[in-house]
Structure 1
Amino acid sequence: MKFPPYALLVLATLLWGGNFVIGRAVTGDIPPFTLAFLRWCLAFFVFFPIAFKYVKRDWLKLKEHWKIVLVLAFTGVAAFNTLVYIGVYSTTSINASLMNSTTPIFIYILSFIFLKEHLSKNQMIGTAISLIGVIFILTGGSLETLMHFSFNKGDLIVLVAVFCWSIYSLLIKQYATRLPGFSTFLVSIAMGAIILAPFTVYELATLDSPIVWSTKTISAIVYVGVLASIVAFLSWNTGVVKMGANRASIFLNLIPVFATIFATIFIGEQLQLAQVVGGLAVIGGVILTNRK
């Protein structure tokens, strides 16, 4: 059965939106490095039968660009989700997903700084609007918070995560014609899990009660390891190929929408006015930057 590309893109963003809520929901049951490590170990074993034949075919290309693959593994696999899982200990999943919407803005800024790409008028205005939205979310709309720079620690950690994801996304864009997708993803998953392994061992060794095994915990690991990693990845890539990257990128704005819906229904988070205003500014700025 073939699904239309827009359905695949919606499915991917729905699953990624749920990832923020899952990370928040299990904060007391499984520590962040362990959750990230188990996620990518499970993803590797699920994806291995699908992608191994491509790794054998593309091994020389992967070996040639091994430094780039290592950076992809560090930023996109090891760092991004781990930092998100750490961040949601101190902030809401709604805030985290809204911060994630600034990824295109970070990419434009990095492209301008490192690749000397020209920014159009729309991109500059959209970037400014989105950054104002981020500040509004960080401060909760409070001028006093802004004046005293007393930002939520979790929000700042998630911003670092988004910065890592932006580097990953920019490299994927730059090396799209040189690095094959499936094999690069499988190898970066393996390398990312190896990077996370010593941190996970230390985390488990130093915590008195590291993991509370339950149906909720196991379901969360399966969700992030299979649905939010493999199913979302395959759905997104297929949708992008059929619809085109520019048209598909607008669907990423659905991630905070789905995260907000899931967070309010399943874990009792409440949507605040500052999040609505800041989120609309962030998403509006992103849409503006993508206009020709």
Structure 2
Amino acid sequence: MKIGKTLPYLLLVLATMLWGGNFVIGRAISGQVPPLTLAFLRWVVAVVIFLPLAWQEIGANKQEIKKCWKALVLMGLTGVAGFNTLVYVGLHYTSSINASLVNTITPLIILLLSYFLLKEPLLYNQLLGLILSISGVFLILSKGSLDVLISLSFNVGDLIVFIAVLLWGVYSIIIKYNSGRIPLYSSLAIPMVIGMFTLLPFSLWELFIAGQKVIWSMPSIAAIVYVGIFASIVAFLSWNKAVSLIGPGKAGIFLSLIPLFTTIFAIAFIGETLKWYQMVGGVLAVAGIYLATRIQTASHIKDSAF
């Protein structure tokens, strides 16, 4: 496979790897930086660094941007302000296991939204790959125990993360629908600014009315820098570019890699040991993604299938 064909998939792996780190960091500093403020500071860092880089492109494409202002606002509200903030909030009320478990349905949400809203064909190999990939993630999260899987209970935090997943699905659909209409840098910089200003009043409320505080330290500062640069600019650029090339349905399956990377980072930085179910689950997740993206001649699922 030529580099041009592999590039979208490499970008998707990079994005999910960086977002896997975002989950670990978001949980690690939950006691130092409150969630709404963490989300706001994340986008402040991203805007300060990225907006100057995109400014020339924005100025050269004012007319195209004006035509797509509704899409840009929705992207800012769903993918920038909504999804990330709700994930951070959800992690304050639910365990990381439950949050990751809810997040694994993201590819299914994107596939279904792509099918119904964009009329993208749904392939049998995509469904089979999706099932295989999610099975691997479930194996990791349940630690290979059916009792653990059955005993998982859903609380308000799980519901918050579920809403976040729905918002991410909508964000991905908007990107695909407007592919080619909005320049790449503009499609990220403008929603960043919108998301940042949307989160500002919520952060002020959290700090000055709710009375929550930021504990400034090297770990908290490093975490904010990471989520602002790598989990925001680099990951979002990679994701947006890949989605514009191969579509949200196929790209969404790669989101199953996030819990896999989260597990790897937990082992590397927290000192957990690698278990058999983590190895097997990782293989299943990767195999599912390979199946869903490798076979191009699979038959389409007819409309009557749903």
* Bucket of the pairwise TM-score, normalised by the shorter protein: 0.7 to 0.9
1:40 aligns with 2:43: yes
2:46·2:228 contact (CA, 8 Å) conserved in 1? yes
1:252-284 Cα distance to aligned partner (Å, 9 max, x none): 554333211212333466778887777766665
Q: CA separation of 1:28/1:12 partners in 2, compared to 1, >3 Å: closer, same or farther?
A: same
C-alpha distance in structure 2 between counterparts of 1:158 and 1:74, whole Å:
16
Matched residues, number:
284
C-alpha distance in structure 1 between counterparts of 2:284 and 2:41, whole Å:
35
1:149-177 Cα distance to aligned partner (Å, 9 max, x none): 83254344323222211111111111111
Q: 1:163 maps to what in 2?
A: 166
What is the aligned-residue identity percentage?
A: 48
Q: 2:299 maps to what in 1?
A: none
Q: 1:207 maps to what in 2?
A: 210
Q: CA separation of 1:66/1:233 partners in 2, compared to 1, >3 Å: closer, same or farther?
A: same
Q: TM-score scaled by structure 2?
A: 0.76
C-alpha distance in structure 2 between counterparts of 1:77 and 1:270, whole Å:
34
Amino acid at match of 1:19: N
Alpha-carbon offset, residue 114 of structure 1: 2.7
Q: How does 1:188-207 map to 2 (within 5 A)?
A: 188-207=191-210
1:107 aligns with 2:110: yes
Q: Which range is displaced more, 29-38 or 85-94?
A: 85-94
Q: Which range is displaced more, 122-131 or 199-208?
A: 122-131
Amino acid at match of 2:201: P
1:95·1:275 contact (CA, 8 Å) conserved in 2? no
C-alpha distance in structure 2 between counterparts of 1:283 and 1:9, whole Å:
13
Q: Which range is displaced more, 280-289 or 167-176?
A: 280-289
Q: How does 1:117-128 map to 2 (within 5 A)?
A: 117-127=120-130
Q: Which range is displaced more, 173-182 or 120-129?
A: 120-129
Q: Which range is displaced more, 62-71 or 10-19?
A: 10-19
C-alpha distance in structure 2 between counterparts of 1:205 and 1:251, whole Å:
39
Q: 1:216 maps to what in 2?
A: 219
| Aligned with 2:29 (options 16, 26, 29) | 26
C-alpha distance in structure 1 between counterparts of 2:173 and 2:10, whole Å:
25
Structure 2 unaligned residues grouped into runs of 5+: 1-5, 297-306
SS state at 2:114 partner = helix
Structure 1 unaligned residues grouped into runs of 5+: none
Q: How does 1:138-157 map to 2 (within 5 A)?
A: 150-157=153-160
Q: CA separation of 1:85/1:77 partners in 2, compared to 1, >3 Å: closer, same or farther?
A: same
C-alpha distance in structure 2 between counterparts of 1:15 and 1:157, whole Å:
22
Q: CA separation of 1:267/1:203 partners in 2, compared to 1, >3 Å: closer, same or farther?
A: farther
Q: Which range is displaced more, 164-173 or 271-280?
A: 271-280
Q: CA separation of 1:7/1:144 partners in 2, compared to 1, >3 Å: closer, same or farther?
A: closer
Q: CA separation of 1:89/1:39 partners in 2, compared to 1, >3 Å: closer, same or farther?
A: same
Q: CA separation of 1:111/1:251 partners in 2, compared to 1, >3 Å: closer, same or farther?
A: closer
Q: How does 1:1-292 map to 2 (within 5 A)?
A: 10-93=13-96, 96-97=99-100, 99-127=102-130, 150-234=153-237, 240=242, 245=246, 249=251, 253-267=256-270, 285-290=288-293, 291-292=295-296
Alpha-carbon offset, residue 31 of structure 1: 0.8
C-alpha distance in structure 1 between counterparts of 2:60 and 2:35, whole Å:
35
